[in-house]
């Protein structure tokens, strides 16, 4: 990026504010995934007009540093990378309606003690802390799956301030330099607790598909364990398979 932005006190106010916000993003005062102060707050802090604030922010939005979310605020984006684990295999969820609009609702987002079960899964001491996230995923407003996600707190220390209805966890990992390298997925059948069944609109006693997924980073450390209880009547899953045997290794 060629630097034509030598901004001093002669520069237009919106340019000065743009550089202030950029500086705070670069210094980490506004960490990726969190919202920056509202336009009103910024206007008040710096004693400037709201319209001026808006044009400063617009500039950063078009640069791809910020994202405006209708009705919520303006969020800091981190650096993005190429990915999608799912394109490289594994269960691909296909909705009955391909154009269904996805959305999620966070039910729980809290810290918890790992305990011996998760201490085993994450190879951490039982007394260490995990984030526990429970959310409902919808397609076109209809509940499709109930997800429970566990992440060791030191993987994404700022998760408290991040709005997970705006950013996917994968985006958050990218922001914080966590590189998922592989994941192990399993499929079982399960039964939901009555409360959860009601939330998912599943009749009691009906089975749901349970996908468990353990994700590893490049060092082989477990960074996420998730369980997704998915309605079998609404979703199909497809798997591509490939033989890795060479024709002369006949068994």
Partner 1 sequence: MEKYYRSRPRDAAAEQIECYLCENGLKAGDRLPSERDMCGRWGFNRTTLRSAIHRLIVEGVLINRVGSGTFVAPKKLVCNLQDLRAFSVVVAESGRSLENRLVTAQMIECSKPLAQKLKQPLGHRIFEMMRVRVVDSVPVLLETSYVDAERCRGIEQYDFEAGSLYATLERDYGIALKNGIEKLGVTYAGTDEAQLLEVPEGSPLIHRVGIAEDFDGVPVEYFKSVARSEYLRFASVLTR
Residue choice 38, 110, 140, 142 for contact with partner 1 (CB under 8 A): 110
Residue 61 CA to residue 97 CA, distance in Å, equals 32
Q: Could you give the angle at the alpha carbon of 83 between the alpha carbons of 231 and 225, nearest 5°?
A: 50
236 binds partner 1 (CB under 8 A): yes
Q: Does 250 bind partner 1 (CB under 8 A)?
A: yes
Q: Please enumerate in sequence order all residues whose Cβ is within 8 A of that of 224, keeping only pairs 6 or more positions apart, or say none.
A: 149, 150, 151, 155, 169, 180, 213, 214, 215
- Tokens representing 29 are 């005062």
Answer yes or no: are the C-beta atoms of 39 and 54 closer than 8 Å: yes
Q: Which of 28, 64, 89, 177 binds partner 1 (CB under 8 A)?
A: 89
Least distance from partner 1 to the Cβ atom of residue 231, Å: 9
- The SS3 assignment for 75 reads strand
- Find the shortest distance in angstroms from Cβ 165 to partner 1: 13
Task: Determine the interface stretch with partner 1 among 43-51, 96-104, 105-113, 136-144 (rule: CB under 8 A).
Answer: 105-113
Q: Residues 234, 226: contact at Cβ < 8 Å? A: no
Strands 222-230 and 142-152: antiparallel
Is 98 one of the binding residues for partner 1 (CB under 8 A)? Answer: no
Query: Residue 92: helix, strand or coil by DSSP?
Result: strand
Size of the site for partner 1 (CB under 8 A): 54
Site string for partner 1, 35-64 (x = CB under 8 A): ------------------------------
Does residue 158 bind partner 1 (CB under 8 A)? no
Token pair 């009601």 is at which residue?
Answer: 198
CA 41 vs CA 31, 45, 49, 147: distances in Å: 18, 6, 11, 35
CB of 15 to partner 1, least distance (A): 36
| Interface with partner 1, residue 180, by CB under 8 A | yes
> Is residue 181 near partner 1 by the rule CB under 8 A?
yes
According to the binding rule CB under 8 A, does residue 244 interact with partner 1? yes
List binders of partner 1 among 68-87 (CB under 8 A).
83, 85-86
Sites of contact with partner 1 (CB under 8 A)? 83, 85-86, 88-91, 108-112, 115-117, 120, 132, 160, 179-191, 193, 206-210, 213, 232-233, 235-245, 247, 250-251
């Amino acid at each position: 990026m060629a630097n034509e932005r030598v901004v001093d006190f002669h520069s237009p106010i919106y340019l000065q504010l743009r550089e202030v916000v950029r500086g705070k993003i670069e210094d980490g005062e506004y960490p990726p995934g969190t919202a920056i102060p509202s336009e009103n707050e910024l206007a008040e802090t710096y004693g400037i007009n709201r319209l001026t604030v808006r044009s400063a922010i617009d500039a950063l939005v078009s640069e791809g540093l910020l994202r405006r979310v209708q009705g919520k605020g303006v969020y800091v984006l981190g650096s993005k990378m190429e990915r999608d684990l799912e394109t490289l295999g594994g269960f691909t969820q296909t909705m009955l309606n391909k154009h269904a609009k996805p959305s999620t609702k966070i039910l729980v987002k809290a810290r918890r003690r790992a305990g011996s079960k998760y201490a085993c899964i994450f190879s951490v001491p039982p007394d260490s802390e995990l984030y526990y996230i429970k959310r409902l995923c919808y397609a076109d407003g209809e509940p499709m799956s109930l997800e429970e996600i566990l992440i060791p707190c030191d993987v994404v220390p700022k998760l408290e301030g991040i709005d997970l209805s705006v950013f996917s966890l994968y985006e958050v990992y990218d922001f914080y330099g966590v590189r998922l390298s592989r994941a192990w997925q399993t499929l079982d059948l399960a039964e939901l607790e009555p409360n959860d069944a009601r939330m998912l609109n599943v009749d009691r006693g009906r089975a749901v598909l349970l996908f468990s997924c353990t994700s590893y980073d490049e060092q082989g450390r477990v960074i996420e364990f998730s369980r997704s209880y998915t309605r079998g009547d609404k979703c199909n899953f497809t798997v591509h398979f490939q033989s890795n045997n060479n024709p002369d290794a006949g068994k």
